[in-house]
Homo-oligomer: A and B are copies of this chain.
Amino acid sequence: MVSEYKKAGVDLNKLKEYHALASNTFQNSGVLKIGHYANAIKLGDKYLAMHVDGVGTKTILALKTGIIEPTGIDCIAMNVNDLVCVGARPIAGVDYLALEKPMDDVVEKVMRGLKQGADEANIEIIGGETAIMPGVITGYDLSCSIFGLSDKLKTGEDVAPGDIVLGLKSNGVHSNGYSLIRKIIDEGKLSLKDWGEDLMRPTRIYSSSVIPILDKIKALAHITGGAFSKLKRITNYRINLKMPDPPQVFKAIENAGVPHFEMYKVFNMGIGMIIFVSKDLKDDIIEFLSKKETVYELGYVEKGEGIKITTYKNEILYI
């Protein structure tokens, strides 16, 4: 069965294949392939982790709705959220803004969004490139590359049966799945007028919330492209999750014709960050995180394999 996402032009298996190709091509002795989210190299007595990510085709909706600034925040969020997942504290980065043509308004708003995101994530943007590329870019493309430092990298190897899985509430769709969303908007199945504001809400920046207790957390997973299927990168043990009722925007997307199970492979379904903690630290961590985040206790790790998701419709999905 061809997924709706693939019909929209995004083939997740193809991307996986490309990532594997890149990984095989660049294998070098000095690089710590943590295998998910960001890699790192040893620098003195610390690890320097580096990540690059863009905001995808969300920029098309940004131009359509005129809501541009959030994409700047998205770009920072996509990177800093991934960096904390490997146990790194984000320090500084650069942005890459590629434009179809001079667009003063877009540039100004993107920069303002990047600055707001950088302030929120407590990082510095130390450089960037703004390129005008007629013939390659339609509208604009935005990506950032950010590095972080770590004393001890998180690889997921600490995760064990009995651990508790927490979820931090998302802001909405964040920054993934927009090719699919655009397809159903273009098909007239989702109203941009009704859902534009929801769809353009920026990715929540979780890094500042988790950094103070990073040492107490066993593993983290930023729910982006591939959504919950990426939890496999954390551990081979069975992860058992009961997902909460998602925000309305996800139901609207699903009602537009995306199969129920595919929703959990493409979208965050209301959970932007997954956190693995030991049972004895659970209460303290929930209490701390609840000061700034909405925290769900989603489930636990147990013996066995694969991810078992009980969806909001109480259907069971195995990934």
Contact = CB atoms under 8 A, between A and B. Distances in A.
Interface of A: 8-11, 14-15, 18-19, 21-22, 25-26, 28, 30-31, 38-41, 43-44, 48, 50-54, 56-57, 59-60, 91-96, 98, 101-102, 107-108, 111-112, 114-115, 118, 124-141, 143, 145, 147, 179, 182
A73 to B, nearest CB: 14
Given A52-B96, A102-B11, A102-B14, A57 B136 contact: yes
Contacts of A141: 98, 133, 136-137, 141
Contact of A114 (B26, B135, B140): B26
Nearest to A107: B18
A61 to B, nearest CB: 10
Nearest to A139: B136
Given A26-B125, A57-B135, A133-B141, 14 more contacts: A9-B101, A9-B134, A15-B131, A26-B115, A28-B125, A31-B124, A39-B127, A57-B133, A60-B136, A96-B96, A129-B143, A132-B179, A135-B182, A137-B138
A204 to B, nearest CB: 20
Contact of A132 (B14, B48, B96, B127): B14
Contacts of A50: 92-94, 126-127, 145, 147
A172 B130 CA distance: 24
A59 B124 CA distance: 31
Contacts of A128: 22, 26, 52
A120 to B, nearest CB: 14
27 contacts: A10-B134, A14-B132, A15-B130, A19-B130, A21-B107, A25-B112, A26-B115, A28-B124, A31-B92, A31-B124, A31-B126, A48-B147, A50-B92, A50-B94, A51-B127, A52-B95, A52-B128, A52-B129, A54-B131, A94-B145, A96-B145, A132-B179, A133-B141, A135-B138, A135-B182, A145-B145, A147-B147
A28 to B, nearest CB: 5
Most B CB contacts (10 A, CB to CB) among A56, A95, A135 go to A135
